[in-house]
Chain A
Amino acid sequence: MDVRLQMAMVFHLDKCIGCHTCSVACKNVWTDRKGAEYMWWNNVETKPGTGYPTAWEDQQKYHGGWEQKNSQPDLRMGRRELRVLNIFHNPHLPKLDDYYEPWTYKYEDLFDSPEGADQPTARPISMITGNYVDIEAGPNWDDDLGGSPVYAANDPNLDSLTEEERAQVFEIDRLVFFYLPRICNHCINPACVAACPSGAIYKRGEDGIVLINQEKCRGWRMCVTACPYKKSYYNWSTGKSEKCILCFPRLETGQAPACFHSCVGRIRYLGGLLYDADRLLDTLHVPDDKLVESQREMILDPRDPQVREGALRNGIDARALEACERSPVYRYVKQWKMALPLHPEFRTLPMLFYVPPLLPVMAKSEDGLYDTANAELFSPIEKARLPMKYMASLFAGGNQELVRYALKKQYAVRMFKRLDTVGDVDAAAIKRGLEQLNMTGAEAEQIFRLTALPLFDERFVIPSSHREQALAMLNEDMWAEKGGAGFGFRAAPVRGA
């Protein structure tokens, strides 16, 4: 048993209101720079939709992630020899147009225009060239600026539906959408790390954060193709690639990352997970629809004495273990089985999990009455406006049972509390429902507490950072950073250096 510590995340989609505060917080802290204008390390997508960059989930086009041909996973972008051949002309990169051309408005025209018959306007200009542009796409075009027949209809997850189901999704009466905030998943099996020809990308030993060394990066952009989530971005100004760093300078000082801290819906949870690195190949050696469960298997119980012993042997601090025991992520992912990884079939073992959203239900529209009456407790789950297949394609590698379970559990908790506070539901039906899900009332209460009323310190249980121990493990000079504070590069990243 090779116990490792990983900073893991849960996004509770049922609580996300799609306000983009996380994106803006991240943009202000990290990507408000030349060359990074188009990057959104944190972005919020509207589903169904093609997302950012356009159709990023379609690996027929982008060739990201891994594919399992035998016992060893292979990068979908090709073997090493092929990657070397493509090194100058990587054919599967998203174009800037697939992200969007970042723009601002020429506001000074509002003040400096000569007096005339017309009101002056602030025309959009490109943040890259400074020229006037016609805005054709944005990082959240699906939501903000329309174009659903173009974009939503091309959501790759709809491929799992039949023609009839597809048509139903876009019927006017049952139009539906939900939000999907995305950051780097800090995967256990990151494809970007495997693809980097310069050895610039690494997974930090002490907390599993995936980082790009700006001094080693040579801008080959293999990580951009390899990452199936398209969460590595090329900075055209510095000639280096960049990605979400999970605000590690904040984590090391005990603060939540900027996007977590600023989330107004309080949908984000952060905590440590222990996993068994020895089990990696076995975990991946299963069909797509078994990947979620096999990844759960890999996650270890921090209260298990054997796990504790293995963790201590691997140099994981006892205080970090104590934080893992309180980790909200462990509860959502392993204990309650409510949080699911995004696209597990990419086989990177993402460490960001999503609690799937409860959606509005289908209803009969009769005589001007919109009838949502339900015969059974869980019938709203089955009657959700987006087919279960769609959710399973997003969160479970096609395994509908797992999504159904997670949604039923949420619904059961909701009804359990309704019985408590309103009392207009059938107590026996709820009891049966809980039994069906193998859930006790105490657990339902706990889920309710952590979902609806969590305190700041319950949402973010950050293991105290021990950078000095990590440095000592790497045989680096542990005194070199004594007295050091803040962050930043020793030298600004530049092309050719």
Chain B
Amino acid sequence: MRIHLTRQPIALSLWLLTVLFSQVARAQTAPLAAAPAGPAVSFEKRCYSCHNIGSGNKKGPDLNGVTDRRTRDWLHEYIETPAAFYRKGDPTAVELFKKFAPEVMPDQALTTEEIDAILNMIQALTRKGEVYVPPGAKLARVMGLTDVYAGWRLFTGRDKLQNGGAACISCHTLASAGRLGGGTLGPDLTTANIKYRNPELISILQNPNFPTMSSVFAAHPLSDEEIVKLFALFDHHRRQNPTAQAGATTYDFKFPLLGAITLIGAVVGMNWIWKNRHRGVREEIVRRSRI
């Protein structure tokens, strides 16, 4: 059947809405092309979520001395297209992928010059024996007493994020997230500030560069004020239980249990309410007549 847009007001308005929203989306993604300045800044924005220089492995390996371990050509090719490099069967790449599974380093949209500048910085830090300190990973102000509660309100979606990002609870859970917990797509964030040290965590809040997070928050970054509040929340959870095992997730049975109880209740209830549906007319007549 042909659909005539002019004869079908609903189809027409849906089509108009689609066009309108695609324009809005395009307008929003446009300003992202702005380039960062300096290798320390671009390392912070692009790499620091997963890599340290001199202070240990995170999601990815510590890059201290990496310029001595590998050749520049290898590093360039690896940084630009890590997954493709791994599929090519390079033995070093295979070993790295295996060690840090299931993390897969995303392809980096950095120019050759930017990569070189970052590598030079790594080399310089290695030579001097220094540890990389992110230049921007600081809170905009000192945390206050009310920030923990404000952060909890943001986390649970009671207050909206200023730039329209999804509330943390959509994908993450937290010890204080509520009886039914939060989403299970991302990790439990109760121990976020134990897994990541302060500057690392602040940097992640500023530039969440993990594959899933970046696609969600690139267009909707957290504001400085929100970062303070959320950090205060994670900081609070660390203080509550400083010895918690980082990354240990406790599986919450409450939600599936509630689901199972509801299902059983619904089945039993439906069978009770509609219990007459199997009542036969003929059977009844025959039974009555035989008495």
Contact = CB atoms under 8 A, between A and B. Distances in A.
Contact of B281 (A55, A89, A90, A136): A55
A150 B278 CA distance: 21
Contacts of B282: 50, 53-55, 95, 97-98, 137
B270 A89 contact: yes
A94 interface: yes
A204 to B, nearest CB: 20
B274 A150 contact: no
B265 to A, nearest CB: 16
A468 B273 CA distance: 50
Nearest to A96: B280
A61 B281 contact: yes
A458 interface: no
A263 interface: no
Contact of B289 (A86, A93, A94, A154): A154
Interface in A35-73: 50, 53-55, 58, 61-62
Contact of B286 (A86, A88, A95, A150): A150
A486 interface: no
A225 B7 CA distance: 36
**From DSSP, what is the main secondary structure of chain A's interface residues?**
loop
Contacts of B274: 86, 89, 91
A150 B281 contact: no
Interface of B: 270, 273-274, 276-283, 285-286, 289-290
A97 B270 CA distance: 23
Nearest to B286: A150
A137 B280 CA distance: 13
B281 A93 contact: no
Nearest to B271: A89
State which size class the interface on A falls in.
Answer: 20 to 34
A378 interface: no
A150 B289 contact: yes
B277 A50 contact: no
A62 B282 CA distance: 12
Contact of A151 (B270, B273, B285, B290): B285
Contacts of A151: 285
Given A55-B285, A90-B277, A97-B280, 6 more contacts: A88-B270, A89-B270, A89-B277, A95-B278, A97-B283, A150-B289
B277 A98 contact: no
Contacts of B290: 150
Interface string A364-387: 000000000000000000000000
Contacts of B289: 149-150, 153-154
Contacts of A61: 281
B255 to A, nearest CB: 26
Contacts of B279: 91
A494 B283 CA distance: 31
Contacts of A54: 281-282, 285
Nearest to B276: A91
Contacts of A154: 285, 289
**When A and B form their complex, which 7 residue pairs have the shortest distance between CB atoms, in order from nearest?**
A89-B274, A54-B282, A150-B289, A91-B277, A95-B280, A91-B276, A97-B280
Nearest to A90: B277
Contacts of B285: 50, 54-55, 150-151, 154
Contacts of A88: 270
